[in-house]
Structure 1
Amino acid sequence: MGGSRRGRSGLGRQGACALAALLLWLCLPPLSAQTTPSNPSVQNQAASCGRSTVTGKIFGGQAAAAERWPWLASVVVRRKHICGASLISNSWVLSAGSCVQRSEITSDYRIWLGYTELGNPTNFSKQVKIDAFFTPDEYNKAHPLASDVSLLHLEDPVEFNSHVRPICLPENSTVVPMNSVCWIYGWGKLTQTDFLPSPFPLQEAKVSLTERDYCRNQYMPPIGMPADQMLSFREDNICAHDPSVEKSMCAGDAGGPLSCYLNGAWYAVGVTSWSGDCQSPVSPTVFASTTYHARWIKEKQNWVKPPPTPKPTKGPSKKTRPPAMTNKPIPDAGAVHKPRVFLVLLSSATLLLLILLQSQ
């Protein structure tokens, strides 16, 4: 009996092990399929900032063309445009400190990106929530509108495209030449009394940087007025204007960038802060210098979003599409492939067990 068992046909222990290894190799996906895909929303700002359809040599136009200023954003509170802003990365927007004084509740704010006409959203337009905003500790303390900058953190990172792209920021050592080509743009009022008509097209104007002494003299406090109670040109400001065409920023334009073309890219060298009345004769527009605030801007971008507090659920919640995604289909939630992989591995393991038993 024993001799007949040894002479019995079968794979043997070595053959069973080899077959088991072959089955496991066939069940495993290739290495390339196991690689974790990179997050498309995490993009390199340094490689893509400040690029648009505009070069440093264009002229003219009141209404701006699409894709011309792809970093420009609208700060919206309760469905109303209140300020401009600049996209500086896939998660941060730079604006004026005065633009986040309407409410302390982050859910009241929305950031509109990819718009040329606020009344005509396109497939590129996005409406993004924020989950935090910051102003410097010095904001509005030493004098009115001191350190008039703010950073708003987007709840979800945005993906860049031809209509949504960040602008570059200067370092604190960057020197902007006085002959730099610079532009201002926004959705603010046309004059002191005239509002921008529907569909609210983006307006733009070419300006020149103005010598600091000239701006300081233009905004000297009246005699007898305490300097700390008066809007005046300070060390953290720069200014620009173009008296030949009498263009300047107006109400609703605060927070937008003063963008200058430097070394082949557009830089936000200033954040629109304030100006005289937007009527003839036009006074220079005053901007918060991003060079002056470069260190604060860089440090604040290291802020890490705290983990959300878990909330009890009453049942499966209905998924709603964000306003900017209404034109995109929702993937089929039933297309789950992992259970199939589990069944394949289970059937292979069962077959392997049977082979081992047969080889005994």
Structure 2
Amino acid sequence: MVDTQWIVTAAHCFIRPYTPADYMVNLGAYQLSVPSGVMSAVSAIYIHPIYKRDGSSGDIALIKLQYPIQFTDYIMPICIPDENVQFPSGMSCFVTGWGSINQGVSLPAPQTLQKVQLPIIDQTECDTMYHINNPTLSANTTLIQWDMICAGFKDGQKDACQGDSGGPLACKWDGSWLLAGIVSWGFGCAIANRPGVYTRVTAYSNWIKQYIPQFELTPAVITVPDPTNGSFCHSSPLIFLLILCIVLLHKLL
């Protein structure tokens, strides 16, 4: 959540046609098997216009809730970096979600929110990794596009997994937490030379600002936030509002 009425997630979480009335958002959930959180109706869904399919550029979406939400100890916003913020290779960040705990292994009850700490991987280095043992991919083909950021380990170890899509890659930044990426795609879970790929939020900071003009982006040099100006963001990695494809975007039947 980036504002009392706005949420950022991945474009591939939605099925065309994008009908807001088909969705509800669960805010503040922690254990999915234990009823909790606040259900909110959706008034609008904005998919970035360059998004085409899973794995393409533009895998970002904005959700506008029907009504503003009251922030609580469990529902709080995260900062959005402006386009000049750089997340250097090796910087340690966190991914949180309720996805599978291993390839094909679902999160067991009570389905408690999980987190994993991962280092940022340079875009060029990540693209090189995806070419290793990948004979179907031409050496001249760039897989990791300009608007993507990677996180993980060369030898696998830890990763986001199926069911985490749309969730946050959050990095500590001068006392606050910035949304560096949105879980987008990958090849399996925690496989060597196949780190998780995320939508790079700085590539779309200005696009977000178009829909939320009053929202203040976080610059590379941070000043003390003013909680009265609508852009205050929280300092805990576990209680950001997470909007995940599988569990929190409820398609109404």
TM-score, normalising length from structure 1? Answer: 0.54
Distance in 2 between the 1:250 and 1:153 partners? 26
Q: Which structure has the bigger radius of gyration?
A: 1
Structure 2 matches for 1:15-54, cutoff 5 A? Answer: none
Q: Does 1:217 align with 2:131?
A: no
Corresponding residue of 2:20: 106
Once the two structures are aligned, what percentage of the paired residues are identical? 28
- Give yes or no for contact 2:155–2:191 (8 Å, CA) kept in 1: no
Structure 1: unaligned runs, 5 residues or longer = 1-86, 304-360
Question: Aligned to 1:199, which of 110, 122, 140?
Answer: 110
**Matches for 1:174-323 after TM superposition, within 5 Å:** 174-220=85-131, 232-242=143-153, 246-281=157-192, 283-302=194-213
Match of 1:164 in 2: 75
CA distance in 2: counterparts of 1:231 and 1:132, whole angstroms: 33
Shift of 1:104: 2.3
Structure 1 distance, partners of 2:95, 2:51, is 23
Matched, 1:131 2:43: yes
Unpaired runs of 5+ residues, structure 2, are: 215-253
Distance (Å, rounded) in 1 between the aligned partners of 2:91 and 2:31: 28
1:178, distance to aligned residue in structure 2 (A): 3.1
Change over 3 Å in CA distance of 1:259–1:144 after alignment to 2: closer
Seen in structure 2, the aligned counterparts of structure 1 residues 139 and 226 have a Cα distance that, compared at 3 Å, is: farther
- For residues 75-122 of structure 1, give each alpha carbon's deviation from its aligned partner in whole angstroms, at most 9, with x where no partner exists: xxxxxxxxxxxx111000100010122652212211111111112134
How far does the alpha carbon of each residue in 1:273-294 deviate from its partner, in whole angstroms, 9 at most, with x for none?
A: 0111115447211111110111
SS in 2 for 1:94: strand
Quote the residue 2:61 is aligned against: 150
Mark the CA change 1:118 to 1:211 in structure 2 (over 3 Å): closer, same or farther.
same
Kindly report the root-mean-square deviation, in angstroms, between the aligned alpha carbons of the 2 structures.
Answer: 2.6
Q: 1:93 to 1:244 in 2, by over 3 A?
A: same
CA deviation after TM superposition for structure 1 residue 231, in Å = 8.8
User: Where does structure 1 differ by over 6 angstroms across 4 or more consecutive aligned residues?
Assistant: none
SS at match of 2:131: coil
* Change in CA separation of 1:183 and 1:150 when aligned onto 2, cut-off 3 Å: same
Contact 1:98 1:145 in 2 (8 A): no
In the alignment, the residues of structure 2 paired with residue 134 and residue 275 of structure 1 have an alpha-carbon distance, to the nearest angstrom, of: 23
* Structure with the higher strand share, 1 or 2: 2
**What whole-Å deviation, never above 9, does each CA across 1:113-155 have from its counterpart, x for those lacking one?**
1111112134xx21111011111111127x9421110000001
Q: Does 1:89 pair with 2:8?
A: no
Alpha-carbon distance change, 275 to 208 in structure 1, aligned in 2, over 3 angstroms: same
SS at match of 1:195: coil
Q: Give, in whole Å, the separation in 1 of the partners of 2:200 and 2:156.
A: 24
Partners of 2:92 and 2:211 in 1: how far apart?
Answer: 29
CA displacement 1:245-296 (0-9 Å, x = unmatched)? 7111111111111000001101101111011111544721111111011111
Counterparts of 1:236 and 1:252, CA distance in 2 = 22
- The one-letter amino acid paired with 1:155 is Q
